[in-house]
Chains A and B, each alone.
Chain A
Amino acid sequence: MMHIRILISIVALAAGIAAIPARAADAAAGAAKAKEICAACHGLDGNSANADYPRLAGQHRDYLAKALRDYKSGARKNPIMGGMTAALSKDDIDNVTAYYSGLPPVVTARY
């Protein structure tokens, strides 16, 4: 009986943790920021036309966020991205990554 109570407590606790809402990212705000800062190179649709700039559309959001944080901190070095991320806040990163990760990738490479 004791075991069942403990089990119920654990389940309830886990459910409670799961129910805590993650801070909602705002993809619409991300779109506005992307248009302002990212789109010139990566495209507003995240499918950059220039092969030097990676496609972002549909990429994992946490990977995009990690990349932006690393550029901002200097852990990942790139003169362009270092400059671009300097002005991004944590909310901006949440929002632009929510925006780009939610777009459909379009693949065009032919060999």
Chain B
Amino acid sequence: MNPKTLRTLVVIAASCAAAPIAALAQQAEPAGNPVEGARKVQMCQGCHGIPGWRTAFPEVYSVPKIAGQHAAYIEKALHEYKNGERSHPSMRAIAASLSDKDMANLAAYYAQSGLGATVQ
């Protein structure tokens, strides 16, 4: 095997090894700051902080539990409310007031707030 081929193979092997690690790092990397998120959480607690609380309009169902939810999912949901892809009136109003950074911080706060919880 000539050195050039060997070098190419090494580069390919290194890329293959690095790709999953990079993907993992990206997934585990916290974008938001939960301490900052805790400062904005008052606007969420009125509905998400009361066990058994239900929505009032336009359809009645339980307000979802969000403690321990993946931060990436919470953040995406907030963006979708802000840009109108999701339509719950209260959540659209709340999300409209949040910056991208606020969303990341709140998502980080709620993702870790249920840490260690195993009860239903």
Contact = CB atoms under 8 A, between A and B. Distances in A.
Contacts of A108: 115
Interface string A28-64: 0000000000000000000010111111001111110
In the complex, which of the residues A52, A54, A76 has the most CB atoms of chain B within 10 Å of its own CB atom?
A: A54
B111 interface: yes
A59 B65 CA distance: 6
Q: By DSSP majority rule, is chain B's interface helix, strand, loop, or mixed?
A: loop
A63 B112 contact: no
A63 B62 contact: yes
Interface stretch (A1-9, A11-19, A99-107): A99-107
B70 interface: yes
Q: Say which size band chain B's interface belongs to.
A: 20 to 34
B27 A51 contact: yes
Contacts of B73: 51-55
Interface in B87-120: 87, 108, 111-112, 114-120
Interface in A56-111: 58-63, 65-66, 75-77, 102-111
Contact of B71 (A51, A61, A63): A51
Contact of A50 (B27, B63, B85, B108): B27
Given A62-B62, A76-B86, A111-B34, A105 B70 contact: no
A34 B114 CA distance: 24
Contact of A53 (B70, B108, B112, B114): B70
Interface of B: 27, 30, 33-34, 59, 61-65, 67-73, 76, 85-87, 108, 111-112, 114-120
